[in-house]
């Protein structure tokens, strides 16, 4: 569908819940900013997805402003990319219902994230949590995006949205672009500094093992100084060295180099040297973002203006797609002319 040589249209969504951490920044936010150089970026703060787990309404609103300020501070330019709030564009929810009819119960019941998040109380989990992947598919397919930058844990969801697009096209005619995922080769899974077998996350991780984007330098240095390492003394990656592997991956990601280059550079270093080197690199990496964030976050009116302008642009892209879907599915009044 896309002519050769055309810059890709990139879509990704990010939830406004929880304090954003280094894993979010490397795995998602930094990719968003880089995407501005490669193609047409459409980035959505997915507040509707956030409703699928327990939350406080005021915290949701404040978290959304926090996230938007971080995105802008990181270098996401609303003049170059479409940046908006999911609930401001109703095409997402209508398309979700329409696509539900080409999605099977069995597919949704096999989603690993649903099983993990629902846990043993699966019968009590919300229908929204179960339906989450269909809304995610609608988020992307509404904009005919070719590329979806996601973490490795979202790979299954992207495969489902590809299946949904292909199934719809086969039944109703060529309508949707079938998207491809883009997973970073370095830093795709930043792990908790205290429990390097677990992913750094906004929930379920330790505060001591999580580096937040807005942490001050002293807090960052303290967390890396106390980071769990492994037996032995070699600075190298390996399944027997999850702590050291994580530190090497973090340093490689923030410097924009390969883990192999880090291993060569620090081959003769001690663990203490590794920790201090990573801490200094992360402090430098996040410093500009933290400084810009403070000023941006203080002006909620300006943040709402960014969201309103982004929603208008997003609607202009998504509305024709939804009109095509409605026409091909026989929903609503037929087109004239």
Instruction: Give me the pLDDT at residue 116, please.
Output: 79
Reported as a pLDDT band with limits 50, 70 and 90, residue 312 is very high
The alpha helices in 25-146, defined as continuous H runs, are: 30-38, 57-74, 91-100, 105-109, 112-118, 127-141
Q: Which residues contact 103 (CB under 8 A, 6 or more apart)?
A: 133, 134, 137, 160, 164
Q: Please, what is the angle between helix 300-329 and helix 91-100, to 10°?
A: 30
Query: What's the confidence (pLDDT) of residue 206?
Result: 84
Average pLDDT (193-197) is: 94
| Residue 208: partners with Cβ closer than 8 Å, 6 or more residues away | 193, 194, 223, 226
Which CATH number is correct for 217-294, 3.60.15.10, 1.10.240.10, 1.10.10.10, 1.10.3720.10? Answer: 1.10.240.10
Q: What is the mean pLDDT of residues 313-331?
A: 98
Beta-strand relationship, 180-182 and 9-14? unpaired
Q: Reply yes or no on whether the pLDDT at 1 is more than 60.
A: no
- 3-class DSSP state of 284: helix
What's the chain's average pLDDT?
92
Of 160, 35, 291, 1, residue with least CA distance to 14: 35
CATH architecture entry for 9-182+299-329: 3-Layer(aba) Sandwich (3.40)
pLDDT category at 117 given cuts 50, 70, 90 is confident
Mean pLDDT within 186-203 = 84
Q: Are 42 and 76 in contact (CB under 8 A)?
A: no
Over residues 145-161, the mean pLDDT reads 86
Domains of the chain, residue spans: 9-182+299-329, 217-294
| Average pLDDT score over residue span 301-311 | 98
Question: Which residue's structure tokens are 């193609």?
Answer: 39
Here the tokens at position 55 are: 């939350």
Q: Is the pTM of this model over 0.75?
A: yes
């Amino acid at each position: 569908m896309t002519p050769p040589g055309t810059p890709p249209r990139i879509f990704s969504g990010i939830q406004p819940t929880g304090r954003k951490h280094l894993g979010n920044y490397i795995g998602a936010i930094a990719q968003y900013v880089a995407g501005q150089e490669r193609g047409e970026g459409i980035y959505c703060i997915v507040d509707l997805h956030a409703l699928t787990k327990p939350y406080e309404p005021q915290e949701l609103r404040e978290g959304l402003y926090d996230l938007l300020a971080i995105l802008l501070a990181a270098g996401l330019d609303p003049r170059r990319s479409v940046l908006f709030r999911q609930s401001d564009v109703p095409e997402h929810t209508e398309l979700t219902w329409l696509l539900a009819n080409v999605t099977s119960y069995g597919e949704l019941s096999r989603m690993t994230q649903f099983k993990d998040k629902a846990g043993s109380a699966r019968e009590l989990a919300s229908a929204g949590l179960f339906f989450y992947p269909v809304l995610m598919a609608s988020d992307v397919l509404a904009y005919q995006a070719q590329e979806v930058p996601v973490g490795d844990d979202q790979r299954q969801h992207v495969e489902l949205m590809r299946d949904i697009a292909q199934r719809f096209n086969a039944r109703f005619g060529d309508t949707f672009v079938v998207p491809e995922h883009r997973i970073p080769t370095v830093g795709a899974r930043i792990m908790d500094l205290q429990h390097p077998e677990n992913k750094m996350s906004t929930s379920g991780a330790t505060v001591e093992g999580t580096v937040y984007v807005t942490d001050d330098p002293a807090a960052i240095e303290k967390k890396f100084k106390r980071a769990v390492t492994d037996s032995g003394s070699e600075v190298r990656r390996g399944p027997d060295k999850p702590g050291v592997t994580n530190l090497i991956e973090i340093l490689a990601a923030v410097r924009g180099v390969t883990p192999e280059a880090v291993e060569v550079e620090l081959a003769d270093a001690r663990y203490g040297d590794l920790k201090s080197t990573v801490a200094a690199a992360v402090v430098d990496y996040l410093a500009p973002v933290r400084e810009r964030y403070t000023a941006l976050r203080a002006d909620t009116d300006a943040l709402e203006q960014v969201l309103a302008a982004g929603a208008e642009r997003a609607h202009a892209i998504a509305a024709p797609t939804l009109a095509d879907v409605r026409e091909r599915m026989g929903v609503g009044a037929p087109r004239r002319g």
